[in-house]
Amino acid sequence: MRRQKFIVGMIAVVLLGLVLTGCNDNNEIQEELKSEVIDVKTTETQAEVDNISEDVNVIIEETYLNEEFSDLRKTQTIKDRYLPDCVTITVVLVQNMKTTTIDFGDGCELRNGNFVSGTIILNYERDPEAATRIISYTFEDFYFNYKNVAGGGTILRERSNENGNPQSTKTFEITVTWPDESFASKEGVKVREWIEGVGTGTWGDNVFLITGNGTFTKKDETILSAEVIEPLRRELACKFLVSGIVNLTKNENTAVLNYGNGDCDDLAIVTINGEEHEIHLGNR
């Protein structure tokens, strides 16, 4: 009788162990699946990094145009230029290589309301007649709306693409660090076509279409692939991208980021598993 009780007890222990192991395995699977889902906050951070990268690109290209084609722009008043009068631009020319330093000092407000400080440095060969130009750039203690921006990249600038418009192809790597020390980075390639406002001499009517792809990484090592599937529209008079669609991928999971129908606001819609969520493009 005692032997039978012992055997029954052993069987119970084994069965309990199998149940607990199964539960643990199931919990681990559930946690793993959960970790693969793209969360709303991550898409919001990715969108903010993209927006910062795009506005920095505007600063770089506007500086380049003002410096290389100053004779064409000398009739512009200060308010007609995108770069504000609080910026200091220093140019050094050595054997036809030009180094341009864009210094916003302790703080400077851009025409569209974004606030920047610190320095961006450009390097390129001086040749105003060239059909294409490669511009390299880096950041030094640079801040965008009180977020630190580090990294750099190169821009291949074409005077005229197949549509007859100026175009820039940017290869970039950027890291944004927030005041709470959280950070995120993105690297990739963006193609930026200038479709409206070319040659008007004012910045407020300038419009660009942006395509490209990249890899986004958060501090917690979350990694997303991002691909523009409908060109992003940037109107220089607005602080934010106003339309366009980006497809975000994390292994087998996807999210669709839609910047809207052209309204100038900080809102976008991200769709995850068929559910729509409204996000803000610069809320931190």
Return the pLDDT at 35.
52
For 17, residues 6+ apart whose C-beta sits below 8 A from its C-beta are none
With beta carbons less than 8 A apart as the criterion, state whether 105 and 117 touch: yes
Res 71: pLDDT: 45
Q: Of 55-69, 75-89, 214-228, 238-252, which range is least confident?
A: 75-89
Does 118 reside within a domain?
A: yes
Supply 124's token pair. Answer: 């390129």
Whole-number pLDDT of residue 229: 97
pLDDT of residue 68: 77
Average pLDDT over residues 120-137: 89
Q: Helix or strand or coil: residue 112? A: coil
Residue 248 resides in a domain: no
96 alpha carbon, distance to own chain's centre: 32
Give the residue ranges of DSSP H helices in the chain: 2-36, 40-68, 70-73
Q: Is residue 3 part of a domain?
A: no
Count of domains observed in the chain: 1
Can you give the pLDDT at residue 33?
A: 38
Is 194 inside a domain boundary? yes
Of 10-24, 31-45, 132-146, 209-223, give the lowest mean pLDDT range.
10-24
pTM score of the predicted model: 0.81
With respect to residue 61, please indicate whether it lies within any of the assigned structural domains. yes
What is each CA distance from 171 to 12, 60, 259, 282, in whole angstroms? 63, 14, 22, 23
Tell me, yes or no, whether 87 lies in a domain.
yes
Which positions ≥6 away from 246 have C-beta within 8 Å? 47, 50, 226, 227, 228, 229, 232, 256, 257, 259
Determine phi and psi for 80, rounding to 5 degrees. -80, -10
Rounded to whole angstroms, how far apart are CA atoms 208 and 192? 6
Establish if 182 belongs to a structural domain.
yes
So what's the pLDDT on residue 78?
Answer: 42
Domain presence at residue 192: yes
Q: What is the CA radius of gyration of the chain?
A: 25
Contact by Cβ (8 Å): 193, 203: no
**How many Cβ atoms are within 10 Å of 246's Cβ, its own excluded?**
26
Length of the chain: 284
Mean pLDDT along residues 162-180: 95
Q: Give mean pLDDT, residues 121-138.
A: 89
H-type alpha helices, 129-247:
none
Structural domain boundaries enclosing 177: 39-221
Q: Which residue, 240, 205, 204, is CA-closest to 111?
A: 204
